[in-house]
Amino acid sequence: MISARDITKTFNAGKPNEFTAVSEVTLAIDFHRVTILKGPSGSGKTTLLGIVGCMSRPTSGRIFLGEREITSLPERFLTDIRRRTFGFIFQQFNLIKGLTVLDNVMTPAYPTSERFPSLRKRALETLALFNLEHKADAKVEWLSGGEAQRTAIARSLINNPSIIIADEPTAHLDTKLSHEFMAIMRRLKGEGKTIILSSHDPIVYDSDLADSVVEMRDGRIVSSGPRP
Amino acid sequence: MRDALERQRHILDFTIASLLRRKGKNGSLLAVYTLIIFILASVLFFTHALKREATEVLRETPEIIVQRTMTGRYQPIPLAYADRIRDIRGVITVQPRLWGYYYDGNFLANYTLVVPREDPPEPGKIDIGSGISRIREAYPGDIIGFTGHDGKPRNFSIRKILSDESQLISADLILISEADYRDFSGISADQATDLVLRVRNPKEYTTIAEKITRLLPDSRPIVRTEILRTYDAVFSWRSGLVIVIFSAAALAFVIFAWDKATGLSAEERREIGILKAVGWETSDVLQMKFWEGSAISLTAFLLGMILAYAHVFFASSFLFAPVLKGWSTLYPQFRLVPYVNFGHVAAIFFLTVVPYTVTTIVPSWRAATIDPDAVMR
């Protein structure tokens, strides 16, 4: 279980533009389940995902990954946890332009010491899961929206993480591609992955895939529980 | 150990792929960087090799030269002075020399006329340097005319063209017989241009010079070390002049490199954020930037050095030889003996490669220490 206890995140503290994105949030996310953070833009979903995924630290409060308290870990350890435990799918995909699909997928594994032939083989196998093996040598800027999304998913899986975090994954997809994305998530859930999605798209939060839906507004949780 | 190497290899692979993506930016940076290294290295190679060559040639310079002066101005020296100087203890030989300059108004060039001690041409014949041969298109057997001191023309037959071995000295040289020189210049039979002395003990140069001044108050002895010092100063001054000019170019490069290296574009910042978000440590990002800076600066350094070496030692320094060599229109066309001072190479390396590499890391370090969640917003 991932536990967030009394999490508050304030940006630009002490400055005139001080802004609290997340305020006193307490949350429990079960492993091997799909949790959806729902709420309008600016409700604090992305900030909370970033904190849960070890991308940033809360201003106050604590995060537990299983039994381990991770909030106070040094940067190096946080990076290591982020690389091994989490796979991120960003709203803007955040693929690195100019590099090939294969290079993008392998990038998260570069700081590991895995031998190149083995890494390449795994990356190609991961691409094959999403029918992208024929695009391995294509530059990412040549991809369609759906292909870019699938490349981003393949990249998030290259280090075989146990938790997938996706921030507004369907924001740039049409209805058909959004359903395709949810189908992939279903497959990953079936493989035992923990999935945390943030979205204000009904295709996502009304999906029968969701085990738990957390609704946020103005940086606070207004409701949480199993999908109604 | 192997793991660390594999990790470095991954980062290096990524760096190369990353560099190749920005061909325009990195290509122009590399071109300007290479140009500056090329210029700096060319100046250093050239001036150093030239000074070395000049020192080698001037090693044959007489130990003491005695001129005659009248109120500080040069005058021909009477041959009788030679006999009096020969009597000074420590002087082995005293030889009178005949030499002078001739300005060729038609070709706007200065020639140096010398009566050689060994193998002088017969009267009516001269040997000329390759520079004169080139400018006047004159070859052995041709007749060449000059205007004498009395305004009357004199014709000479060319015996030979002087060899190219020491063009620095001989490009503008005319070797002429004593009789022809006296007739041409108007110098009387009992006078010479100056006297050259050989002295037994180098430690006595100064003492003998003082004795000559006491014995012949209107004479001016010049010791060889003074000549070498003067040449050294002239070459240093000229190379200094060029270095000052190119310092401006170097400064422009520093501004250019600083701008390119320190000003991370929004795209680069975003990429650093992505790399951190997907699991790269700050140190991984810095290593990547270090490899990137090193790849550009080392490539530019090697290219610049190779081009400078080829320019100076194989292409006769065609770009700035006119500034550094001579003052006549008869620039020597000679190839310097390749000689590289590793102190200079190291100086260029530490003044260019090291600062550039550091300037690429500093802004990346600032960018790499921000939270990776910035890319999510």
ipTM of the assembly?
0.89
Q: Residues in chain B whose beta carbon is closer than 8 A to a beta carbon of chain A?
A: 2-4, 6-7, 9-11, 13-14, 17-18, 20-22, 267, 270-271, 274-282, 284, 371-373, 375-377
Residues of B in contact with A53 (CB under 8 A): 373
Give the pLDDT score at B376: 60
A122 Cβ under 8 Å from any chain B Cβ: no
Question: Residue A204 belongs to what H/E stretch?
Answer: helix A202-205
Residue B237 has pLDDT above 70, yes or no: no
Question: If pLDDT is split at 50, 70 and 90, which confidence band does B257 have?
Answer: low
A50 Cβ under 8 Å from any chain B Cβ: yes
Whether residue B274 and residue A115 make contact (CB cut-off 8 A), yes or no, is no
Structure tokens at A128: 């094959």
- Average model confidence (pLDDT) across chain B: 82
* DSSP summary character for residue B166: G
Whether residue B280 and residue A110 make contact (CB cut-off 8 A), yes or no, is yes
Mean pLDDT of all residues in A69-82: 88
Residue A78 has pLDDT above 90, yes or no: no
Give the pLDDT score at A212: 92
Structure tokens at B376: 């999510």
Between B64 and B333, the more confident residue is B64
Whether residue B277 and residue A90 make contact (CB cut-off 8 A), yes or no, is yes
Residue B323 has pLDDT above 80, yes or no: no
Give tens-digit pLDDT for A143-188: 988 899 899 999 999 999 999 999 988 888 888 888 988 999 999 9
Q: How far apart are CA B300 and CA B242, in angstroms?
A: 21
The answer to whether the beta carbons of residues A57 and A63 sit under 8 Å apart is no
Question: If pLDDT is split at 50, 70 and 90, which confidence band does B44 have?
Answer: confident
Give the pLDDT score at B330: 47
Mean pLDDT of all residues in B360-367: 77
* In the block, residue with structure tokens 């260029």: B348
Q: How far apart are CA B282 and CA B230, in angstroms?
A: 57
* Shortest CA distance from B283: residue in chain A: A76
Which range is least confidently modeled, A131-145, B54-68, B75-89? Answer: B54-68
* Shortest CA distance from B282: residue in chain A: A76
Concatenating the DSSP letter of every residue in B12-31 gives HHHHHHHHHHTHHHHHHHHH
* Shortest CA distance from B277: residue in chain A: A55
Residue A29 has pLDDT above 60, yes or no: yes
* Shortest CA distance from B19: residue in chain A: A98
Percent of chain A with pLDDT over 70: 99
Q: Count how many Cα atoms sit within 13 Å of the Cα of residue B32 in the half-sphere of its side chain.
A: 17
Mean pLDDT of all residues in B94-99: 93
Question: If pLDDT is split at 50, 70 and 90, which confidence band does B317 have?
Answer: confident
Q: Count how many Cα atoms sit within 13 Å of the Cα of residue B220 in the half-sphere of its side chain.
A: 13
Sheet with B143-147, strands from edge to edge, namely B99-104, B109-114, B173-176, B125-128, B153-161, B143-147
Residues of A in contact with B371 (CB under 8 A): 50, 55-57
- Highest-scoring range by mean pLDDT, A215-219, B285-289, B363-367: A215-219
Question: If pLDDT is split at 50, 70 and 90, which confidence band does B360 have?
Answer: confident
* CA-based end-to-end distance of chain B: 38
* Shortest CA distance from B8: residue in chain A: A111
- Rounded to the nearest angstrom, the minimum Cα separation between B289 and chain A is 14
* Shortest CA distance from B371: residue in chain A: A56
Q: How far apart are CA A207 and CA A214, in angstroms?
A: 14
Q: Which of B244, B245, B205 is nearest to B228 (CA)?
A: B205
Concatenating the DSSP letter of every residue in B281-350 gives -HHHHHHHHHHHHHHHHHHHHHHHHHHHHHHHHTSTTTTTHHHHS-SSS-----PPPP---HHHHHHHHH
The answer to whether the beta carbons of residues B375 and B270 sit under 8 Å apart is yes
Whether residue A83 and residue B21 make contact (CB cut-off 8 A), yes or no, is no
Q: How far apart are CA A172 and CA B61, in angstroms?
A: 85
Residues of B in contact with A159 (CB under 8 A): 279
Give the pLDDT score at A173: 82
A108 Cβ under 8 Å from any chain B Cβ: yes
Task: Name, in order, each residue with C-beta under 8 angstroms of A100's C-beta and a sequence gap of 6 or more.
Answer: A136, A137, A138, A139, A140
Nearest to B375 among A84, A94, A115 (CB): A94
Percent of chain B with pLDDT over 70: 85
* Phi-psi sector, A39: left (phi>0), alpha (psi -120 to 50), beta: left
Q: Which of residues 78-97 of A touch B (CB under 8 A)?
A: 79, 82-84, 88, 90-91, 94, 96-97
Give the pLDDT score at B132: 87
Mean pLDDT of all residues in B248-259: 70
Residues of B in contact with A43 (CB under 8 A): none
Give φ, ψ of A210 to 5 degrees.
Answer: -70, 125
- Highest-scoring range by mean pLDDT, A58-67, B128-137, B357-366: A58-67
* Shortest CA distance from B272: residue in chain A: A96
pTM equals: 0.68
Q: What is the per-residue burial (b if ≥16 Cβ within 10 Å, else e) of A190-219?
A: eeebbbbbbbbbeebbebebbbbbbbbeeb
Residues of A in contact with B278 (CB under 8 A): 83, 88, 107-108, 155
Residues of B in contact with A12 (CB under 8 A): none
Residue B127 has pLDDT above 90, yes or no: yes
At A87, is the secondary structure helix, strand, or coil?
strand
Mutate to test the interface with B, among A7, A55, A86, A90 (most CBs of B within 10 A): A55
Q: How far apart are CA A63 and CA A85, in angstroms?
A: 14
Whether residue B279 and residue A103 make contact (CB cut-off 8 A), yes or no, is no
Residue A206 has pLDDT above 90, yes or no: no
Structure tokens at B257: 């490199």
- Rounded to the nearest angstrom, the minimum Cα separation between B166 and chain A is 56
Residues of B in contact with A155 (CB under 8 A): 278
Q: How far apart are CA B358 and CA B362, in angstroms?
A: 6
Structure tokens at A102: 């294969």
Q: How far apart are CA A3 and CA A80, in angstroms?
A: 19
Give the pLDDT score at A124: 95
Nearest to A56 among B7, B281, B373 (CB): B373
Give the pLDDT score at B30: 87
Give the pLDDT score at B242: 66
Give φ, ψ of B217 to 5 degrees.
Answer: -60, -20
- Rounded to the nearest angstrom, the minimum Cα separation between A175 and chain B is 23
* Shortest CA distance from A56: residue in chain B: B371
Whether residue A110 and residue B3 make contact (CB cut-off 8 A), yes or no, is no
Between B233 and B28, the more confident residue is B28
Give the pLDDT score at B261: 60
The answer to whether the beta carbons of residues B197 and B220 sit under 8 Å apart is no
Domain boundaries, chain B: 2-58+233-376, 64-223
Residue B331 has pLDDT above 70, yes or no: no
Question: If pLDDT is split at 50, 70 and 90, which confidence band does A85 have?
Answer: very high
Give tens-digit pLDDT for B151-188: 999 999 999 888 765 555 677 889 999 999 999 999 99
Mean pLDDT of all residues in A47-62: 91
Give the pLDDT score at B170: 73
